[in-house]
Amino acid sequence: MGTQKSQYLKRIAVYPGTFDPITYGHIDVIKRALLLCDKLIIAVAKRREKAPLFSLKERVELAKNSLKELPNIEVEGFDGLLISFVRKKKANIIIRGLRAISDFDYEFQMALTNRKIAPDVETVFFLPAEEYSYVSSSLVKEIAALGGDTSKFVPPPVVKALKKKFKK
């Protein structure tokens, strides 16, 4: 019998987003994604055109603090083309969350475009648990801006940061 090498391909996934701020919906997708990969990189996009409430540095820190109990996770900010970041990280999976049918059109277009650019990178879509399917960062920011309780939608470090941002 010859020497046969068993090659194990490490499954490295990237979950990109603005995460302004990270919500329990995002964390639900992250927990589901961890079941399919060996390492999950949370890629916090700079996205100047979205005029985020929190700076890139703040969003990275909020994600790190909110995810510190979960294994095999890295959180990193990035600016530029997602596929370039995925290649730099030697990842082979992109994770995307779908809340509603309205998300699907955009995500489908992006997945096909990314497949054309990088055919070796797969996009995997996750549906959040029903209790988070309507939660968005925009909704959370609106609740916080109006003095509402955001603790059912975001982890404690984010609740604290939102209160600080919207101090009246």
**Which of 10, 50, 88, 152 is the catalytic position?**
50
* 64 tagged catalytic: no
Q: Any catalytic annotation for residue 55?
A: no
Torsion (CA) 12, 37, 107, 52 in degrees, nearest 10: -70
Residue 71 main-chain phi, psi, to 5 deg = -80, 160
DSSP β-bridge partners for residue 126 = 97
CA distance 106 to 109: 5
Q: Where are the extended beta strands (E) located within 46-130?
A: 73-78, 93-97, 122-126
Q: Active site includes 26?
A: yes
Catalytic residue check, 50: yes
Catalytic residue among 46, 99, 115, 165: 99
- Catalytic residue (one of 59, 66, 96, 137): 137
Q: Which sequence positions are flagged as catalytic?
A: 26, 50, 99, 137
